[in-house]
Structure 1
Amino acid sequence: MKADAGRKYRAYPTAEQDQVLIRWGHTARALWNVALEQRVYLWDQRRYTLRSAEQCQYLTAARTDLNWIGDLPAQAGQQILRQLDRAYDNFWNPRHSARFPARKKRGHHLSVPFPGQAVEARKLNRHWAEVRLPKLGWLRFRLSRSLGGTIRNATVSRDGNGWHISFGVHTGRKPDGPNGKPACGVDFGVSASAFVSTESAPRLMTPTLTANERKRLKALEQRKARQITYAKKHNGGAYSRRLRTMIAQIAKLTTRRANRRRDFTHKLTTDLAKNHGLIGIEDLRVKSMSKSAKGTAEKPGKNVRAKAGLNRSVLDNAPGERRRQLEYKCRMYGSVLVAVPPFHTSQTCAACGLVDPGSRKGCGRLFACTRCGHEDDADHNASVEIEARARLGAPPGRSLGEGGSDINSTRSTPKVRVPASGRRRMREAPTPAHAS
Structure 2
Amino acid sequence: MYRLYPAPAQAERLRRWGHTCRAVWNLALEQRIYVLQQRGRCLRADEQCRYLTQARHDLDWIGELPSQTPQQILRRLDRAYDNFWNADHPARFPRYKKRSARLSIPLPGQAVRVRPINRKWAFVRIPKLGEVKFRLSRALGGDVQNATVTTDASGRWSISFAVRTRSPAPLANTLPPVGVDFGVKQAAYCSDEAQPRLMPPTLTAGERRRLEGLERRKARQVRHAHTHRGGRHSIRLQKTLREIARIKARQARRRLDFTHKLTTDLAKNHGLVGIEDLRVKSMTASAGRGSRKAGLNRGILDNTPGERRRQLAYKCPRYGSVLVAVVPAGTSQTCGRCGHRDPLSRTDRDSFRCVKCGHGDDADHNAATVTLHRALRMADDAVCRRALR
The TM-score bracket by the shorter chain reads over 0.9
Structure 1 residue 69: deviation in Å? 1.3
Residue by residue over 1:292-344, the C-alpha shift from the partner in whole angstroms, topping out at 9 and shown as x without a partner, is: 233xxxxxxxx952110000000111111111111111111111111111121
Mapping 1:186-205, distance limit 5 Å: 186-205=180-199
The code of the aligned residue for 2:363 comes to A
Q: What is the rounded CA distance, in whole Å, between the counterparts of 2:224 and 2:54 in structure 1? A: 43
| Structure with more relative contact order (C-alpha pairs < 8 Å, separation 6 or more) | 1
Residue among 312, 317, 332 paired with 2:298? 312
Mapping 1:323-362, distance limit 5 Å: 323-362=309-348
1:165 partner SS? strand
Q: What is the rounded CA distance, in whole Å, between the counterparts of 2:46 and 2:233 in structure 1? A: 39
1:376 matched residue in structure 2: 361
Is the Cα–Cα contact under 8 Å of residues 116 and 152 in structure 1 kept in the other structure? yes
Structure 1 residue 395: deviation in Å? 4.5
Q: What is the rounded CA distance, in whole Å, between the counterparts of 1:141 and 1:258 in structure 2? A: 21
Residue among 103, 106, 122 paired with 2:99? 106
1:394 partner SS? helix
Of all paired residues, the percent bearing the same amino acid is 60
Is the Cα–Cα contact under 8 Å of residues 232 and 238 in structure 1 kept in the other structure? yes
CA, structure 1 residues 358+397, in 2 after alignment: closer, same or farther (shift >3 Å)?
A: closer
Residue among 59, 63, 66 paired with 1:66? 59
Structure 1 residue 241: deviation in Å? 2.2
The code of the aligned residue for 1:393 comes to M
Structure 1 residue 207: deviation in Å? 1.6
Q: What is the rounded CA distance, in whole Å, between the counterparts of 2:359 and 2:310 in structure 1? A: 34
Q: What is the rounded CA distance, in whole Å, between the counterparts of 2:218 and 2:56 in structure 1? A: 38
Is the Cα–Cα contact under 8 Å of residues 282 and 341 in structure 1 kept in the other structure? yes
CA, structure 1 residues 173+187, in 2 after alignment: closer, same or farther (shift >3 Å)?
A: same
1:277 matched residue in structure 2: 271
Question: What RMSD, in angstroms, separates the aligned Cα atoms of the two structures?
Answer: 1.8
User: Structure 1: where are the runs of 5+ without partners?
Assistant: 1-7, 295-302, 399-436
Q: What is the rounded CA distance, in whole Å, between the counterparts of 2:224 and 2:9 in structure 1? A: 33
Q: What is the rounded CA distance, in whole Å, between the counterparts of 1:287 and 1:174 in structure 2? A: 37
The code of the aligned residue for 2:172 comes to P
2:38 partner SS? helix
Residue among 242, 246, 264 paired with 2:240? 246
Q: What is the rounded CA distance, in whole Å, between the counterparts of 1:70 and 1:397 in structure 2? A: 53
Q: What is the rounded CA distance, in whole Å, between the counterparts of 2:58 and 2:328 in structure 1? A: 57
1:173 matched residue in structure 2: 167
Structure 1 residue 224: deviation in Å? 2.2
Bigger drift between 160-169 and 212-221 goes to 212-221
Structure 1 residue 213: deviation in Å? 1.8
The code of the aligned residue for 1:338 comes to V
Structure 1 residue 390: deviation in Å? 0.9
Residue among 128, 138, 142 paired with 1:135? 128
Structure 1 residue 368: deviation in Å? 1.8
The code of the aligned residue for 1:367 comes to F
Is the Cα–Cα contact under 8 Å of residues 79 and 115 in structure 1 kept in the other structure? yes
Q: What is the rounded CA distance, in whole Å, between the counterparts of 1:207 and 1:70 in structure 2? A: 46
2:316 partner SS? helix
Number of aligned positions between the proteins: 383
Structure 1 residue 87: deviation in Å? 0.9
1:19 matched residue in structure 2: 12
1:321 matched residue in structure 2: 307
User: Structure 2: where are the runs of 5+ without partners?
Assistant: 384-389
Bigger drift between 217-226 and 74-83 goes to 217-226
Bigger drift between 131-140 and 154-163 goes to 154-163
2:35 partner SS? helix
1:386 matched residue in structure 2: 371
1:344 partner SS? coil
Bigger drift between 254-263 and 227-236 goes to 227-236
Is the Cα–Cα contact under 8 Å of residues 132 and 138 in structure 1 kept in the other structure? yes
Residue by residue over 1:180-237, the C-alpha shift from the partner in whole angstroms, topping out at 9 and shown as x without a partner, is: 1111111111112111111111111112122322222232223223323333443343
The code of the aligned residue for 1:201 comes to Q
CA, structure 1 residues 290+375, in 2 after alignment: closer, same or farther (shift >3 Å)?
A: same
1:213 matched residue in structure 2: 207
2:291 partner SS? helix
1:10 matched residue in structure 2: 3
Q: What is the rounded CA distance, in whole Å, between the counterparts of 2:185 and 2:141 in structure 1? A: 38
Is the Cα–Cα contact under 8 Å of residues 339 and 390 in structure 1 kept in the other structure? yes
Is the Cα–Cα contact under 8 Å of residues 36 and 103 in structure 1 kept in the other structure? yes
Q: What is the rounded CA distance, in whole Å, between the counterparts of 2:25 and 2:139 in structure 1? A: 32
CA, structure 1 residues 116+47, in 2 after alignment: closer, same or farther (shift >3 Å)?
A: same
Is the Cα–Cα contact under 8 Å of residues 174 and 332 in structure 1 kept in the other structure? no
Is the Cα–Cα contact under 8 Å of residues 161 and 255 in structure 1 kept in the other structure? no
1:225 matched residue in structure 2: 219
2:223 partner SS? helix
1:39 matched residue in structure 2: 32
1:32 partner SS? helix
Q: TM-score, normalised by structure 1?
A: 0.84
Q: What is the rounded CA distance, in whole Å, between the counterparts of 2:175 and 2:96 in structure 1? A: 45
Structure 1 residue 172: deviation in Å? 2.6
Is the Cα–Cα contact under 8 Å of residues 175 and 333 in structure 1 kept in the other structure? no
Q: What is the rounded CA distance, in whole Å, between the counterparts of 1:66 and 1:335 in structure 2? A: 51
